[in-house]
């Protein structure tokens, strides 16, 4: 496995604050993986994501120690424009990311800033429209769309830049359960088919555990747990950090505690059923 992003002894505190928002943080993100970042409100998740795409320290003043390398680039020494081609960030609210009068103009926006030739822009826009199943929305005004559609448009704009890493900060928080599952399915496809690496902050862990390779838990700016979803979620420590254990993991823990000799921790009810039936 190749390490795509490496966080090394990173600490950051915002200007005029005493507390470190991220403190002595180490993390390696392997290429092609999906990592979920979890932890209570205010523990530093969004701050860490901002450090990953360079918003910190380039746009937020503060004290920055240690560092991050992304695909060979040292983030704090690399211009935002260069980083934007490697790391894409999707905010919680797509409204913050949608500016233009039509969906296709919006998706083209970042590509125009890269100074790409018109035909290349056209090709990439058509490609992501198709990939995200929103070709029929190309000429619509983004502000008339549903939240789920807006989220797809914003994600399309990020994917069109062909970043190696995409960072999602609570991407499903405005979405209904059905649209949220569709977004997760899309992330899975992009990860498997295009090899895009993902780091995702998400509170509804049960949505992501089936597609996540790792969960990293933060508390007061520090990394306190890290591992495979099944291992982290069945660890009693998780509750200490306010991690809501998905019902399926809890059921599994209860069953094994009562002496049922099951195998691997299931990610979905179907897997659990198969495992129980197989005995």
Ligand X SMILES: Nc1ncnc2c1ncn2[C@@H]1O[C@H](COP(=O)(O)OP(=O)(O)OP(=O)(O)O)[C@@H](O)[C@H]1O
Please, what is the minimum distance in Å from the beta carbon of residue 16 to ligand X? 8
d(CA 158, CA 124): 11
Please, what is the minimum distance in Å from the beta carbon of residue 255 to Mg ion? 34
Pairing of strands 165-169, 87-90: parallel
Identify which of residues 65 and 276 has a Cβ nearer to ligand X in the complex: 65
Binder to ligand X among 26, 42, 112, 250 (CB under 6 A)? 42
Angle made by CA atoms 130, 150, 108, in degrees to the nearest 5: 55
What residue 277 binds from ligand X, Mg ion, none (CB within 5 to 8 A, per partner kind)? none
d(CA 47, CA 14): 9
Identify which of residues 156 and 217 has a Cβ nearer to ligand X in the complex: 217
Identify which of residues 47 and 149 has a Cβ nearer to ligand X in the complex: 47
Please, what is the minimum distance in Å from the beta carbon of residue 57 to Mg ion? 18
What residue 41 binds from ligand X, Mg ion, none (CB within 5 to 8 A, per partner kind)? ligand X
- Token readout for 202 is 């998400």
Instruction: Write the interaction track for ligand X spanning residues 11-40; mark x where CB under 6 A is met and - where it is not.
Output: ---x--x-x-x-----------------x-
Identify which of residues 24 and 105 has a Cβ nearer to ligand X in the complex: 24
> What stretch of H or E contains 65?
strand 62-70
Q: Judged by CB under 5 A, does residue 47 bind Mg ion? A: no
Identify which of residues 94 and 142 has a Cβ nearer to Mg ion in the complex: 94
110: preceding bond cis by omega (within 30 degrees): no
Long-range contacts formed by 106-113: CB under 8 A, 24+ apart: 106/142, 106/153, 106/157, 107/153, 107/156, 107/157, 107/160, 108/160, 109/157, 110/84, 110/157, 110/158, 110/160, 110/161, 111/160, 111/161, 113/81
> What stretch of H or E contains 228?
none
What residue 91 binds from ligand X, Mg ion, none (CB within 5 to 8 A, per partner kind)? none
Binder to ligand X among 5, 29, 44, 205 (CB under 6 A)? 44
Please, what is the minimum distance in Å from the beta carbon of residue 145 to ligand X? 24
What is the CA 142 to chain-centroid distance, rounded?
A: 23
Residue 179 buriedness (CB in 10 A; 0-12 / 13-18 / 19+): middle
Judged by CB under 5 A, the number of residues near Mg ion is: 1
Q: Judged by CB under 5 A, does residue 46 bind Mg ion? A: yes
Please, what is the minimum distance in Å from the beta carbon of residue 12 to ligand X? 9
DSSP bridge pairs for 150: none
Please, what is the minimum distance in Å from the beta carbon of residue 274 to ligand X? 35
Identify which of residues 41 and 277 has a Cβ nearer to ligand X in the complex: 41
Identify which of residues 25 and 252 has a Cβ nearer to Mg ion in the complex: 25
Q: What is the contact surface with ligand X in residues (CB under 6 A)?
A: 14, 17, 19, 21, 39, 41-47
């Amino acid at each position: 496995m190749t390490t795509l992003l490496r966080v090394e002894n990173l600490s950051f505190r915002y200007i005029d604050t005493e507390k470190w928002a991220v403190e002595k943080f180490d993390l390696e993100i392997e290429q092609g993986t999906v990592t979920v970042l979890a932890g209570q409100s205010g523990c530093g998740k969004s701050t860490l994501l901002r450090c990953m795409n360079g918003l910190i320290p380039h746009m937020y003043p503060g004290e920055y120690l240690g560092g991050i390398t992304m695909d060979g680039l040292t983030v704090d020494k690399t211009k935002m424009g260069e980083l934007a081609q490697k790391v894409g960030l999707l905010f919680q609210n797509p409204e913050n990311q949608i500016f233009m009068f039509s969906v296709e103009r919006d998706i083209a926006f970042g590509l125009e800033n890269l100074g790409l030739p018109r035909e290349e822009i056209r090709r990439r826009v058509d490609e992501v429209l198709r990939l995200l199943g929103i070709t029929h929305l190309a000429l619509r005004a983004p502000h008339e769309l549903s939240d789920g559609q807006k989220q797809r448009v914003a994600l399309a704009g990020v994917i069109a830049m062909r970043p190696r890493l995409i960072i999602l900060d609570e991407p499903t928080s405005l979405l209904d359960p059905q649209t949220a599952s569709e977004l997760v399915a899309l992330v899975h496809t992009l990860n498997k088919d295009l090899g895009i690496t993902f780091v995702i902050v998400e509170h509804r862990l049960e949505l992501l555990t089936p597609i996540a390779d790792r969960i990293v838990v933060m508390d007061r700016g520090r990394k306190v747990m890290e591992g495979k979803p099944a291992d982290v979620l069945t660890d009693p420590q998780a509750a200490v950090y306010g991690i809501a254990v998905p019902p399926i993991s809890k059921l599994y823990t209860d069953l094994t505690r009562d002496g049922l000799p099951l195998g691997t921790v299931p990610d979905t009810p179907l897997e659990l059923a198969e495992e129980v039936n197989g005995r």
